[in-house]
Amino acid sequence: MVESVDVVVIGMGPGGEALAGELAEAGLSVVGVEAGLVGGECPYWGCVPSKMMVRAADALAEARRVPALAGGADVRPDWAPVTRRIRDEATSGWDDKAAADRFVAKGGRLVRGRGRITGADTVGVTGDREYGFKARRAIVVATGTTPSVPPIPGLADIPYWTNHEAIEAAEVPESLCVIGGGAVGLELAQVYARFGARVTVLEAADRLLGTEEPEAGLLLAGVLEEEGVTVRTNARIDRVHRYDGGFAVNADRGPVRARRVLVATGRRARLRDLGVGEIGLDPDARAVEVDDRMRVAPGVWAVGDVTGKGPFTHVAIYQAGIAAADILGREVEGARYHALPRVTFTDPEIGAVGLTEAQARRKGVNARVGTTRVPSSTRGWIHGTGNDGFVKLVEDADTGVLVGATSAGPCGGEVLGALAVAVHAGVPTGRLRSMIYAYPTFHRAISEALDALDGSGRAPGEP
Ligand SMILES: Cc1cc2nc3c(=O)[nH]c(=O)nc-3n(C[C@H](O)[C@H](O)[C@H](O)COP(=O)(O)OP(=O)(O)OC[C@H]3O[C@@H](n4cnc5c(N)ncnc54)[C@H](O)[C@@H]3O)c2cc1C
Ligand SMILES: NC(=O)c1ccc[n+]([C@@H]2O[C@H](COP(=O)([O-])OP(=O)(O)OC[C@H]3O[C@@H](n4cnc5c(N)ncnc54)[C@H](O)[C@@H]3O)[C@@H](O)[C@H]2O)c1
């Protein structure tokens, strides 16, 4: 039997949950289909528990800095409070009852199972029982991504970790080989190393955090090495196999032997099982193409990681707001990604917004950059140990407008706030120069980076 409803949302991660909740509150009949946990990756295996781990690991690192600043500290890492907080405070034991109840309280109907598009306006769900829905107003694809596992010989035959196992781990392994030096790999590598694991990071590219400024990857490689993590870039892995109760990852420059192997080599959307061919999409595409209102096809919208516009919770929620307004027939400004912020929560944090220098040049921007090091800023110098970082600005020299920035360092993600406002609003660097920066804050380094921009940095017409 096919039931008629206004909207069917497939996938109730941060994007789907926000969108489905808003539409239900607006009075539409909304079915949210979820194959796993309502809330998706972010609250159970992503942002929230990983940042609890980072918080704990940072506390250890700060305590280890006490001798340089304030006397003595006896630091004895214990993983138990971390697992307890993740189980009890973050995930309720990986139980989504609270999130499911929240959606139902907004007037939504939750259907547990795997959704599949079966026609231009119909969705089938396979779970404990079969459902069929006809969506009068909208189908929304919000199915996120899953880990992309490289076809390394032997890898599929071992019980490797993805972010799920790394977040759920009851113990810290004696040693950990992390394949992939992106955000997942680096945040978790530093956490596990600070809790005592011997960690090696194998990154195929020539630097860590390859999508950000090269200075960021270099900075993190140096900091991690100083903390005892082995970092190998340009790594070629040819085989993985069991070895002495653990595993051996055979790479150029020698094998890495470790108790656990974490695969953190990116994520990808899986469209084949979703029936997207029914609405004329390529089932093998890496993402669902959307316009600036998240429209995919007549009566179909998509939000979140599946759109390939930026794999972050804040992007999923931003897109959900736009799609909800569009579905409700309200006027809404289309999505713009020119000031997309992202933060890698390593210590130092790497905050970035807009274009990197290389991206700006590739887009034909006449890029002018200004960089300052945090240790040479007043606050960085006062901070002392743990003060690594930099602020880098990318200005369009033709317009005098800031088009990108990176703030790496202690509180790098918070310093980013000011830079994100500037890039979002297209503030000319001349205007930023005339601002008063509180002394001695970390964000005051922005004014030093402005001084480092070649020329005046003033926009045409600016005083
Ligand atoms: C370790 C880690 C740390 C992260 N840290 C951060 C961070 O600090 N900040 C940040 O902004 N982002 C972070 N992210 C990224 C963030 O988790 C994602 O961008 C976000 O979860 C994407 O939301 P989404 O709604 O698009 O998809 P998802 O969260 O992936 O949710 C999709 C949901 O759809 C369901 N689903 C899939 N297919 C179907 C189907 N056919 N039928 C029914 N249900 C289906 C899935 O079960 C899932 O619940 C992190 C990711 C990881 C892995
Ligand atoms: N703080 C945050 O906002 C946060 C934290 C974690 C994850 N995320 C998001 O989740 C997504 C997934 O993160 P991720 O780190 O898995 O992906 P990623 O794409 O950011 O990084 C994957 C890394 O693995 C490397 N790699 C790929 N194949 C390899 C191989 N065979 N051998 C060695 N290295 C290989 C890539 O060169 C790349 O550097 C990202 O897009 C990220 O932005 C965000």
The model carries a pTM of 0.97
Query: Rounded CA gap, 190 and 80, in Å?
Result: 18
Q: Are residues 17 and 131 in the same domain?
A: yes
Residues 189 and 251 in one domain: yes
Task: Give the CA dihedral 84, 88, 90, 93, nearest 10 degrees.
Answer: 100
Q: Are 125 and 115 in contact (CB under 8 A)?
A: yes
Q: Which of 55, 143, 168 to mutate to test the pocket of ligand 1 (most atoms within 8 A of CB)?
A: 143
| Residue 186 and residue 116 share a domain | no
Cα 312 to middle of ligand 1, angstroms:
8
Among 266, 298, 315, which residue terminates a domain? Answer: 266
- Domain residues for 169? 148-266
Q: Domain tally for the chain?
A: 3
Same domain, 261 and 394: no
Residues 426-450, mean pLDDT to the nearest whole number = 97
29 and 123 together in one domain: yes
- Is the bond preceding residue 348 a cis peptide, omega within 30 degrees? yes
* 296 within a domain of the structure (yes/no): yes
Instruction: Please give the Cα distance from 143 to 283 (Å, whole number).
Output: 14
| Binding positions for FAD | 51, 115
Q: What is the CATH number of the domain that holds 441?
A: 3.30.390.30
- Ligand 2 atom nearest residue 180's Cα: 24
**Ligand nearest to the backbone CA of 304:** 1
Residue type, 305: D
229 within domain boundaries: yes
Q: What is the pLDDT of residues 152-164, one digit of tens each?
A: 999 999 999 999 9
Q: Give the confidence band of 1 by pLDDT, cuts at 50, 70, 90.
A: confident
The answer to whether the CB of 204 is under 6 A from ligand 2 is yes
Distance 324 CA to ligand 2 centre (A): 29
Residue 73 included in any domain: no
Mean pLDDT, the chain, whole residue set: 96
Q: Which of 216, 256, 232 is nearest to 343 (CA)?
A: 216
For residue 246, tell me if it sits in a domain.
yes
Q: Record the tokens describing residue 424, joined without a space.
A: 């979002």
Same domain, 348 and 419: yes
DSSP code at position 38: T
Ligand 2: does its nearest atom lie under 6 Å from the Cβ of 308? no
Q: Would you say residue 261 lies in a domain?
A: yes
The structure tokens listed for 300 are 């179909």
Q: Look at residue 65 and tell me if it is in a domain.
A: no
Give CA–CA dist 423/429, Å, rounded: 10
Q: What is the pLDDT of residues 152-205, one digit of tens each?
A: 999 999 999 999 999 999 999 999 999 999 999 999 999 999 999 999 999 999
Residue 310 Cβ < 6 Å to ligand 2: no
The encoded tokens of residue 366 equal 């006449």
- Last residue within a domain, chosen from 243, 266, 289: 266
3 state SS of 24? helix
- The CB of 265 under 6 Å from ligand 2? The reply is yes
Dist. CA 143 → ligand 1 center (Å)? 8
Same domain, 193 and 282: no
* Residue numbers belonging to the annotated binding site for NAD(+): 180-187, 203, 266, 305
Query: 457 falls in which pLDDT band (50, 70, 90)?
Result: very low
Report DSSP state, residue 248: E
Q: What CA–CA distances, in Å, run from 230 to 31, 163, 176?
A: 48, 20, 11
CATH of the domain at 32: 3.50.50.60
20 and 130 co-located in one domain? yes
* 196 shares a domain with 258: yes
29-84 residue pLDDT tens: 999 999 999 999 999 999 999 999 999 999 999 999 999 999 999 999 999 999 99
Residues 355 and 278 in one domain: no
Q: Is the model's pLDDT at 454 over the cut of 90?
A: no
Residues 320 and 236 in one domain: no
From 41, 184, 262, 306, mutation site for ligand 2 pocket: most ligand atoms within 8 A of C-beta: 184
127 C-beta closer than 6 A to ligand 1? no
141 and 203 in a common domain: no
- Quick one: angle between helices 14-25 and 97-105, nearest 10? 30
